[in-house]
Amino acid sequence: MNFYAVKAIYKFEMARMWRTLGQSIASPVLSTVLYFIVFGSAIGSRIDGIDGISYGAFIVPGLIMLSVLNQSISNASFGIYFPRFTGTIYEVLSAPISFVEILLGYVGAAASKSLVIGTIILLTSGFFVDMEIQHPFWMILFLVLTSVTFSLFGFIIGIWADGFEKLQVIPLLVITPLTFLGGAFYSINMLPPLWQKISLANPVVYLISGFRWSFFEHSDVSLGVSLAMISIFLLLCISAVAWIFKTGYKLKA
């Protein structure tokens, strides 16, 4: 394992976050504040609570997951697409490092950025609502698994995309709608029976449900099912990335 190569790629990618603090950190935090003002105050004041949890606290896991999913995909996809766009990816591919080391550098940096954003949003939430994390270990585990998995997914999108506009297609038209429909701001148990069954086809439901359980011991699906779903998606992403490097898909052209 060439740790110097991993460290070099990782530091280069992380440096972008510190150069663009406004876009990288201030923007997600501002969005979270606006969500709390609109949903937590304006709407939450009209809702007594959900299963004994105040509405403002109930939406915190959903807000964190919404930001982590989008940030993971965006950071990883742009991180690998830009070297392809400029042609510097060939210098990386010709270096004496394996695809595992390349992946650790790019995906590790993207996941780290997402974890920083998720932590900042969690701390910001404390200024608006009172809450206690019942299971910190499971909260951290879900946060790490989600960041790594969707950073891998973003890496795949960055390889697949052949233009900057395609980098935003899946996050904006797929991930964000699935998150809003995945119980980020409500419990799927509040839906009619038919829509509850339809919602179970949404993979984001399992992510948010397991993450919310770590906060309040309340979930729409069992913890085991949530862990199984995120693990399956993680393995699928790893398999897809391994195939990309094995075949040179859009890397050697």
User: How far is it, in rounded angstroms, from Cα 76 to Cα 42?
Assistant: 35
- List pLDDT tens digits, range 154-197: 999 999 988 888 888 888 888 889 988 898 888 898 889 999 99
Q: What is the pLDDT of residue 236?
A: 96
Q: What is the pLDDT of residue 186?
A: 87
Q: What is the pLDDT of residue 108?
A: 95
Looking at the whole model, is its pTM more than 0.85? yes
Backbone torsion region of residue 51, taken as left when φ is above 0, otherwise alpha when ψ lies between -120 and 50, otherwise beta: left
- List pLDDT tens digits, range 45-81: 667 778 788 888 888 999 999 889 988 999 999 999 9
Q: What is the pLDDT confidence band of residue 40, given thresholds at 50, 70 and 90? A: low
Q: Is the pLDDT reported for residue 21 higher than 70?
A: no
For the segment 113-126, the average pLDDT, to the nearest whole number, is 90
Q: Which ranges of the chain does DSSP label H, i.e. alpha helix?
A: 3-19, 21, 27-35, 55-58, 60-86, 89-94, 99-125, 136-160, 164-167, 169-170, 176-180, 193-199, 203-216, 223-247
Domain spans in the chain, listed from the N-terminal domain onward: 3-247
For the segment 205-221, the average pLDDT, to the nearest whole number, is 92
Q: Which two tokens stand for residue 241?
A: 């990335």
Amino acid identity for residue 30 in this structure: L
